[in-house]
Structure 1
Amino acid sequence: MGSPQVRGGYDLDFGHVNPIRHGPLCALTPRLRRTDSGSRGRYGACARPFSEDLPWNIWITATAATTPDRRPPIGPDREGGGGTEGRDVCKMFMNFRRIRKCQFIQLMTTCLALSVVMVCWEQLDHHVVSHMRSYSYRYLINSYNFLNQSFAVSHEVAQGLNNHSYLIDHERKCAGADVLLLLFVKSSPENVERRQAIRSTWGNETWIRRELGVEVRMVFALGVHPDPRERAAVQWDVLREDGRYGDMVQQDFVDSFHNLTAKLLLQLGWAHAHCGHARFLMSADDDVFVHMPNLVRYLQGVARAGVRDFWVGRVHRGAPPVRRKDSKYYMPYDMYPWASYPDYTAGAGYVVSGDVAEKLYQASAILNSTLYIDDVFMGICAEVAGVSPQEHIYFSGEGKTPYHPCIYAEMMTSHGHVADIHHLWAVATDPAVREARSGLTGRLYCTVVKALLLCKPYHFNTYPCKAAFS
């Protein structure tokens, strides 16, 4: 702290004073320095305590300033009040204001954060909280015994819930044939062009028999047109189409998203009644591409191994019910109040063995089928039947494959193909595709390419990254 000043043209200098030379009192007495322009000398307070230049009252004031309980002298900046005390009060006041300001900012930040959470809670609950709950249940508890009690109904009630009549049926479709694969394609009455594209590409039974040497039976499963005003005209077109190709099975339920479970039961019931000897059953959407040569080779290997309880596809494990009412996958609490669905495969494309198809049919005959999400209902049937799905990295589920020969050599299914299905079929089944990954160099090249295509950050709508190294 600088030298405090006193009136009369002197300031106090609390420098060192030798107590031996000047006496003990001098050790407690500050030296005074003349501050007017007329004197430049330095006077010790004890050396000249009663100088004519130093009034006695100033000397006393200077001496008193050195006592242990001294208070800061009056400063020239605060007339009539302690300057240091005033500054301390100001500092305290400013610190108080600063603290209040920081607390206000913290309060406003907290309120803003809470407001954002309240506004976005539905999205946060859907994307974060519900997944945490469902995964915790799936991987910590993993018990779905409640499904038997909650969904079980009598056979008569289950039959009444699914009491639909056939409008188109082909009972002899599988008769007399050693069917490797019964292939159901879920279609809508108005999707004529999609069905025609499938018939001329991956669903062509004649091509499969000639080129692959196996029997595959393809059946389009559909209901009736949802618009009553157009239903009669569309139904007439459907009947003419089936008269030409003979590959459609239709029941009288309205063909809509909320009747997908009815379409699943149509497939299971028809397979049980008319094609129970097929070794495998596949269900796929009409905008899915199936690499039939790869799939047939794969299923032939599974059949030779004698595998049972076979269910393969893109597996959803620990998936939470969607509680947002604006989503088409919305699941109300009164229909499914639990935190997690049982494991299931994406409905876009999956394969089960013949014994699993029969188990699913038997389970569906005693369960409440009002749950309208078909792949979830199938997961419930499988849980009741004691069957678990297996992941296959090249079943895309709802994902779409990148276009590259190194991908075509391994792919099983890819979702979202309508306009490009003919082109994809031509390039994917080209014999040169398998040659692209032949040899050590070809395998290394394809590993690098697949890693670049499948391992992109935040790019999930395709095969998983681990497929690059399979």
Structure 2
Amino acid sequence: MKGPLVVTVMMVKLFIFILITRHSSQDKNGNHKVRIPTKPFWAKLVPSISYWNRQQQILDLQNNPVLAANYSTAGMPDWLNDTSLISNPCQPNFRVTTQVKDYNSLPNRFKDFLLYMHCRSYPIMVDQPNICKEPPFLLLAIKSLAPHFDRRQAIRQSWGQAGVVANQTVVTIFLLGNASAGDHYPDLTEMLHYESARHKDIIQWDYRDSFFNLTVKEVLFLEWIQTRCPGARFIFKGDDDVFVNTYRILDFLKGLSESQAKDLFVGDVITNAGPHRDKKVKYFIPESMYTGTYPPYAGGGGYLYSGDIAARLHNASQQVALYPIDDVYTGMCLRKLGLAPEKNKGFRTFNIEEKYRSNPCAYKSLMLVHPRTPQEMIQIWAWLSCPSLNCQ
């Protein structure tokens, strides 16, 4: 009895399969029809009119083996086959003078950025190779300029105190470029060498330290972490004119679950933003350079992320063209990873209400406030470190 039943079931399945096959290969009139896609799966790449977008298109092609396979070397358009800079990318690329339509009318900061946009590697002048010999729980990495000694010293005496804070290991470093005579800076080389020997917390590279080169500082720092401090559990990266409540940050970090800690990237997040087109604005970007909106990004005054994210950002940064605004660039790298920064109300990169600024308790629950002078940093830290401070 079992044999005929098996045969019957198999016949029914075969009949259903034939019906489905016939239905799927016939149109409503019963005619057989071959389904042909109406357009190619991979759309033909058309060069963007904006220089950064076009450079990103080239990088996307180079890093996408499936897409690259659709172009033979012979059939690749000239704009996608630009390999002229690979041999020595740190020489000025004078081709941009004709590739950016309004190059000659752009401010000098844009010309300088565009000429060296492909350079990501600069010699390190001052290093601290053993600063993370014991992997820290929290690495405080502060963007600074050579003349800003008073800011660095105030941070050392307040929220950037290295060592053991609240039973956790904290390491502080200051990230510098080269404040050159070409930008009318005084020569502070000897002073900086003394400061570095005294405090052993200066990291300096030989590149022009300018606003547009903060992205270079970001890329070099991500490389430095992987070689000098890969064991850092968390990283705070910020400016030298912010106040950071290190106690609050450590409390916040200790309260995270393992999964929360792994993908952590928090700050004062800006969404639905785009480039400023007003030439009078510090963040002005012309259309010839960039079109489109910005991905969500955390304001560069300061943000907090995990060591795991740092390693992934380092890899992603190699696939994202340098952009002259560093916090936007970091947002671009996060998007490349399929991630987005998380907004945290403890980060106040646009200050707090004036009436609360002299109230010690206003800073108790915050992680960052911007801006603050060196004197204000020391004052606020003294308030928060006072055992008798009572904020009910």
TM-score range, shorter-chain basis? 0.5 to 0.7
What is the distance in 1 between the residues matched to 2:58 and 2:269? Answer: 24
**What one-letter code is carried by the residue in structure 2 that aligns with 1:363?**
A
Moved more, 405-414 or 283-292: 405-414
Q: Which residue in the other structure is 1:373 paired with? A: 325
Q: Is the 8 A contact 2:272 2:294 kept in 1?
A: yes
Equivalence for 1:425: 381
CA distance change for structure 1 residues 153 and 249 in 2, over 3 Å: closer, same or farther? farther
Q: 1:358 aligns with which of 302, 305, 311?
A: 311
Q: Distance in 2 between matches of 1:333 and 1:152?
A: 21
Match of 1:166 among 124, 128, 140: 124
Relative to 1, partners in 2 of residues 1:204 and 1:307: Cα closer, same or farther, differing over 3 Å?
A: closer
Q: Distance in 2 between matches of 1:309 and 1:366?
A: 20
Q: For residues 383 and 268 of structure 1, do their structure 2 counterparts lie closer, same or farther at Cα, with a shift above 3 Å needed?
A: same
Task: Decide whether the 8 Å contact of 2:137 with 2:169 is kept in 1.
Answer: yes
Q: Deviations over 1:319-361 (max 9, x none)?
A: 12101112120112122111x1000000001011111111111
Other-structure match for 1:389 = 341
SS at match of 1:424: helix
Superposed CA deviations along residues 4-57 of structure 1, whole A, max 9, x for unmatched, are: xxxxxxxxxxxxxxxxxxxxxxxxxxxxxxxxxxxxxxxxxxxxxxxxxxxxxx
Among candidates 168, 176, 181, match of residue 227 of structure 1: 181
- Alignment partner of 1:267 is 2:221: yes
Q: Helix, strand or coil for the counterpart of 2:213?
A: helix
User: Which residue does 1:407 correspond to in 2?
Assistant: 362
Q: For residue 234 of structure 1, what is the amino acid of its counterpart? A: L
Tell whether the 8 Å contact from 2:267 to 2:344 is kept in structure 1 after alignment.
yes
Amino acid at match of 1:375: D
Q: TM-score, normalised by structure 1?
A: 0.57
Which whole-Å CA distance do the structure 1 matches of 2:291 and 2:278 have between them? Answer: 14
Check whether the contact 1:400–1:416 (CA below 8 A) recurs between aligned residues: no
Task: Kindly state the Cα deviation for residue 150 of structure 1 after the two structures are TM-superposed.
Answer: 6.2
1:192 aligns with 2:149: yes
Provide the rounded CA distance (Å) in 1 between the counterparts of 2:350 and 2:290: 23
Q: Deviations over 1:164-183 (max 9, x none)?
A: 110111111101x2411111
**Unpaired runs of 5+ in structure 2?**
1-52, 64-84, 91-117
Q: Contact (CA 8 Å) 1:147, 1:384: kept in 2 or not? A: no
Amino acid at match of 1:422: I
**Distance in 1 separating the partners of 2:61 and 2:207:** 21
- Residue 332 of structure 1 pairs with residue 286 of structure 2: yes
Q: How far has the Cα of 1:410 moved from its partner?
A: 0.4
1:212 aligns with 2:161: no
- Would you say the 8 A contact 2:245–2:364 is kept in 1? no
1:149 aligns with 2:62: no
CA–CA distance in 2 between the matches of 1:297 and 1:181? 12
Q: Deviations over 1:143-202 (max 9, x none)?
A: xx9996366486985885212110111111101x24111111000000011111111111
1:293 and 1:429 in contact (8 A); partners too: no
- Does residue 181 in structure 1 map to residue 135 in structure 2? no
For 2:262, what is the secondary structure of its paired residue? Answer: coil
Instruction: Write the distance in 1 (CA, Å) between the matches of 2:158 and 2:145.
Output: 19
Does structure 2 conserve the Cα–Cα contact (< 8 Å) formed by 1:148 and 1:384?
no
Aligned residue type for 1:181: L
Aligned mates of 1:153, 1:192 — CA distance in 2: 44
Q: Deviation at 1:306? A: 5.2
Structure 1 CA distance for aligned equivalents of residues 61 and 315 of structure 2: 13
Q: Show the counterpart of 1:316.
A: 270
Structure 1 counterpart of 2:147, one-letter code: E
Residue from 228, 245, 252 that aligns with 1:291: 245
Partner in structure 2 of residue 344 of structure 1: 297
Mapped to 1, the partners of 2:285 and 2:183 lie a distance apart of 30
Considering Cα pairs closer than 8 Å and 6+ residues apart, tell me whether 1 or 2 has the greater RCO.
2
Once residues 301 and 167 of structure 1 are traced to their aligned partners in structure 2, the CA distance between those partners, rounded to angstroms, is 38
| Partners of 1:347 and 1:153 in 2: CA distance | 29
Q: Secondary structure at the match of 1:222?
A: strand
CA distance in 1, matches of 2:62, 2:126: 28
- Partners of 1:297 and 1:197 in 2: CA distance: 23
Q: Which amino acid is the alignment partner of residue 273 of structure 1?
A: T
With the length of structure 2 as denominator, give the TM-score of the two structures. 0.68
Q: How much has 1:431 moved relative to structure 2? A: 3.0
Instruction: For residue 367 of structure 1, report the CA deviation from its aligned partner.
Output: 2.1
User: How many Å separate the matches in 2 of 1:407 and 1:332?
Assistant: 40
Determine which of 210, 218, 223 is the counterpart of 1:256: 210
When the two structures are aligned, how many residues end up with a matched partner? 286
Q: Which residue of 1 aligns with 2:158?
A: 201
Q: Which has the larger radius of gyration?
A: 1
Q: Deviations over 1:394-429 (max 9, x none)?
A: 101232463324322201001111132111111133
Q: Aligned to 2:275, what secondary structure does the other structure show?
A: coil
Q: Give the residue type in structure 2 aligned to 1:417.
A: R
Alignment of 1:84-103 (within 5 A): none
Q: 1:112: which partner in 2? A: none
SS at match of 1:258: coil
SS of 1:432 mapped into structure 2: coil
Aligned counterparts of 2:54 and 2:207: Cα–Cα separation in 1: 29
Q: Which amino acid aligns with 1:289?
A: F
Following superposition, the deviation at residue 372 of structure 1 comes to: 0.9
* 1:398 aligns to 2:363 (yes or no): no
1:251 alignment partner, SS class: strand
The Cα RMSD (Å) is 2.4
- CA distance in structure 2 between the aligned counterparts of 1:336 and 1:263, rounded to whole angstroms: 21
For the residue of structure 2 that corresponds to 1:243, the secondary structure is helix
Q: Secondary structure at the match of 1:253?
A: strand
Deviation of 1:312 (Å): 0.0
Q: Give percent identity, aligned residues only.
A: 32
1:102 is aligned to none
1:236 corresponds to 2:190:
yes
